[in-house]
Amino acid sequence: MKYIASIILLFTIFSYSFAQVTKPTSTSQLKGSGESSIPTSISLTLKPYKKTWVYIGSYYGKGKTLVDSVFLDDASKGVFKPVKKYTQGIYFVVSPKYAILFEFLMDEKQHFSMEADTAKKEDPIIKGSVENDIFKSYSEYSVKQGKLLSDLSDKFKVSTTKADSAKLRNEIIKQNKALQQYRDSLTKKHPNSLLSGLLNAMKQPEYPAIPVVNGKVDSLYPYHYVKDHFWDDVEFNDDRLLRTPFFESKLDNYFKTLVSADPDSIFKEIKYIMLYARTGKEIYPYLLTKFTNKYINPEIMGQDKVFVKMFEDFYAKGDTTYLNAASRKTIVERAYSLMANQLGNPAPPLDLTDTTGKTVSLYKLAGKFTFVVFWDPTCGHCKTELPRIDSMYKARWKGLGVTLYSVNVSSDKNTTQELKKFIQEKSLDKGWIFTAQTKEARDDEQKAGLPNYRQLYDVYKTPTMYLLDDAKRIIAKQLSLEQFNDIISAKLKAKQ
């Protein structure tokens, strides 16, 4: 596969890899966020480290990030004193070699002390923070319960009889309920605590008994109930959600299991979430970046429409201020490229020159289908794919009324000879139409300020392939050869 241009990654807010973090040159070089009415002061005693840098980090979406640093003195002591408050959430102390030692909660007051020894790092002493007293009790129970569930799961995997499997399954269900009951009792006892808020946000809804209407069971009731209540205890503008290891996984699970895969349904959900999250200083740009990266090059054909709609509703209305210049340019150019080749749209016109010097217009070609492939004779993957396309054409497509329209994207004059040699060596069918854009045509296009076919067809890699119907509407793109063949079969079957 040959890439004509690289897609520039969107801006990165934080580094997710500890190995890439540069050692700070002064205490508290890494800053927290949020205004502080009371000076933040978190003292740390971490034995046996002396005269060295140590860190605090936090979860950040699915990743982890360093947040601040302190230089320990001869007594293994240091004090974190950032200019601004840290965002509340689940944090951890990190060793000089970037190993996570223990977790703690960053509370609202942020005025407490921590003391630990690496010889017994699982038992840190935290004073002056009620939130961390609650968190310690919860951590001790959840670790114990987690080990029990893990052991039961291991036994279940190797169980050899149905009776044993059933017994272990019931015990796993029982212990999971015990864990949830403990969480529920904690949130009831400490309803205003940070941990309660995080646990409520993590909680998955459980549907009640399925109602029976006129003697019929509503089989869709569980789906609708869970979907309607999935975000009951979540406020999308709460930056604390990013400082947990579960929020983004819950978000991904929601889109995977409860949201239809069609672009309009996906964008409806994204728009709701983004409008709700807009006042979040950290979470809004994070989610905007997450959804953009997911749908700018989606895994499922046609979902790039989500990115186009995001561009129209967010970026085109001012949200490019979150981007650096290079990313802004990429976003804008990619959006305009994708606008021209959405599924169901008429394919952009192609009037290119074939190997005999004749201009061949895409829209003047006859056929029930037109298969368009943009390729480069010097591209190794193209040299493999074109013979495969030719074999498919000879074996099946030709008889189904498929027309092949090939575009050589290379601007190197020497590729013309390579192209002719390739056609001859591979014995490609005479039904192929091989075209390229002449330098004169390209220059005229640039002078007129017109978009080129690379932009119109989103050709940033080779080969890039499209399937058009008899009216030259785009019905498939960026699929494997076998998937294109399946699309043709499905379309023909639908017409019978």
Contacts of 282 (CB under 8 A, 6+ apart): 13, 33, 87, 239, 242
Cα(295)–Cα(253) distance, integer angstroms: 16
- Residue that is written with structure tokens 């999250």 in the block: 277
Cα(231)–Cα(205) distance, integer angstroms: 9
Give the distance, in angstroms, between the CA of residue 388 and the centroid of all CA atoms in the same chain.
32
CA 123 → CA 77, 95, 114, 139, 140, distances in Å? Answer: 18, 16, 11, 11, 10
Cα(454)–Cα(345) distance, integer angstroms: 17
Cβ(470)–Cβ(461) below 8 Å: no
What pLDDT, on the 0 to 100 scale, is given for residue 324?
Answer: 85
Rounded to a whole number of angstroms, the distance between the first and last alpha carbons of the chain is 37
Q: What is the mean pLDDT of the chain?
A: 88
Q: Which stretches of the chain score pLDDT less than 70? A: 1-38, 412-415
Cα(2)–Cα(380) distance, integer angstroms: 8
Cβ(322)–Cβ(11) below 8 Å: yes
What pLDDT, on the 0 to 100 scale, is given for residue 14?
Answer: 31
Please return the burial class of 97, using the count of CB atoms within 10 Å of its CB with bins 0-12, 13-18 and 19+: exposed
